[in-house]
């Protein structure tokens, strides 16, 4: 490698190197609610299962979709509140539970079976509790963090509702199949995450 190429390599590395590492909530400078919104938007482990569960609920009809919307939103707020109050699960348990939920939600959507609104609501509550607790794990309780949790809850509500609104009116078979394929992808991600946990332990946050 020539000296000029080496200089350009170091210059590019310096430009793209992050100045600040954010382990939990992202500080946007627009207030704690927007920090919570941004954190959710930058966390695929949060919005992917929420979208998939919304797609599944939409395929089941308006009533299950409304029940699921309330269940996952309230569960998320409850999980975050528990984490802020002090007690929380270990990172390994939270990530193993996340992988299991990926498999369950992805399998539900891919199979497109009517498992009943109670089961769908229970899965929504479980997703909310686990991911809400994981998002605020190790964060000291404060008014700002409560507002951040409210921002996350608003995002969960919106993302789930949008996912359900996509599949609720679907009539064409190929569109329903496309939605179900996305569930198989989520289940595949759950398998990959499970394999990583078994091989390497908890995923670094």
State percent of the chain over pLDDT 90.
61
pLDDT of residue 140: 75
Least confident of 62-71, 80-89, 109-118, 186-195: 80-89
Task: Extract the tokens encoding 11.
Answer: 């210059």
Q: Using an 8 Å Cβ cutoff, are 139 and 152 in contact?
A: no
Q: pLDDT averaged over the chain?
A: 86
Q: What is the structure's pLDDT at 6?
A: 57
Residue 25 pLDDT > 90: no
Please give the pLDDT value at position 4: 62
Residue 47 pLDDT class (50, 70, 90 cuts): very high
Q: Which of 178, 189, 23 is nearest to 112 (CA)?
A: 178
How does pLDDT run across 133-175, given as a tens digit for each residue?
999 887 877 888 899 999 999 999 999 999 999 999 887 888 8
C-alpha–C-alpha distance, residues 127 and 125, integer Å: 5
Query: Which two tokens mark 72?
Result: 């996952």
Of 88, 76, 102, residue with least CA distance to 195 = 102
* pLDDT given at position 19: 47
**pLDDT in the model for residue 22:** 45
Assess whether pLDDT exceeds 60 at residue 77: yes
Q: In the chain, what are the domain boundaries?
A: 26-200
Gap between the Cα atoms of 150 and 156, Å rounded: 10
Specify the pLDDT at position 29. Answer: 63
Residue of 113 and 203 predicted with greater confidence: 113
Instruction: Tell me if 136 sits within 8 A of 145, measured CB to CB.
Output: yes
What local confidence, expressed as pLDDT, does residue 3 receive?
62
């Amino acid at each position: 490698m020539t000296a000029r190429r080496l200089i350009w390599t170091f210059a590019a590395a310096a430009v793209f190197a992050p100045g600040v590492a954010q382990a939990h909530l992202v500080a946007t400078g627009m207030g704690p609610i927007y920090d919570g919104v941004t954190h959710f938007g930058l966390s695929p482990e949060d919005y992917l299962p929420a979208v998939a569960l919304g797609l599944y609920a939409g395929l089941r009809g308006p009533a299950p979709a409304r029940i699921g919307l309330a269940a996952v939103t309230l569960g998320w707020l409850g999980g975050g509140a528990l984490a802020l109050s002090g007690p929380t699960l270990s990172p390994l348990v939270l990530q193993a539970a996340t992988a299991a939920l990926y498999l369950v939600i992805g399998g539900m959507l891919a199979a497109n079976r009517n498992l009943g609104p109670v089961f769908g609501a229970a899965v929504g509550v479980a997703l909310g509790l686990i991911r809400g607790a994981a998002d605020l794990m190790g964060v000291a309780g404060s008014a700002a963090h409560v507002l951040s949790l409210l921002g996350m809850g608003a995002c969960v509500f919106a993302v789930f509702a949008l996912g359900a609104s996509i599949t609720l009116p679907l009539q064409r078979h190929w569109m329903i199949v496309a939605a179900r394929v996305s569930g198989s992808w989520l289940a595949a991600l759950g398998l990959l995450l499970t394999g990583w946990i078994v091989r390497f332990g908890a995923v670094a946050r």
